[in-house]
Amino acid sequence: MARDLSDPGPGLLEFFTERHLATLTTLRPDGTPHVVPVGVTYDAATRTARVITSGTSAKARHVRDGQSRVAVCQVDGARWATLEGAAVVRDDAASVADAVARYARRYKQPRENPARVVIEIAVDRILGNA
């Protein structure tokens, strides 16, 4: 049963430190969902989720084009959590470097990508069973 987790608790926070991929859902200009697998990090202190990607990716383009409401969902068996919020694309060196460092801590050092950007999600709803 899904529950709104305004105070997610330690179980969910730990879930977002384990090595799991997630899906990111953005909206195409026609309103249909675009769902892709991603690595995601979550900072509970600032309620910010981050996804690194190429600046030319469809997900970055959708957010830049004004389809800023997104959801990122992580699943492991019966445990799952969805982070929802408004997203922005950041391409400044400091934001990208911070997101890459967070990604490397959770997953592994990503390959070099000079076109890399970060999609930052201001999480305003957390649903799950983790």
Cβ–Cβ under 8 Å, residues 41 and 103:
yes
Two tokens, residue 117: 């950007």
Asked if the 3-129 domain carries CATH number 2.60.40.1190, the reply is no
According to DSSP, the residues that pair with 120 across neighbouring strands are 50, 88
Domain segments of the chain as ranges: 3-129
Each of the 130 residues of the chain gets a pLDDT tens digit; together they read 445 555 566 677 788 889 999 999 999 999 999 999 999 999 989 999 999 999 999 999 999 999 899 999 999 999 899 999 999 999 999 999 999 999 999 999 999 999 999 999 999 999 888 7
Per-residue b or e along 65-82, where b marks 16 or more CB atoms closer than 10 Å to that residue's CB: eebbebbbbbbeeeebbb
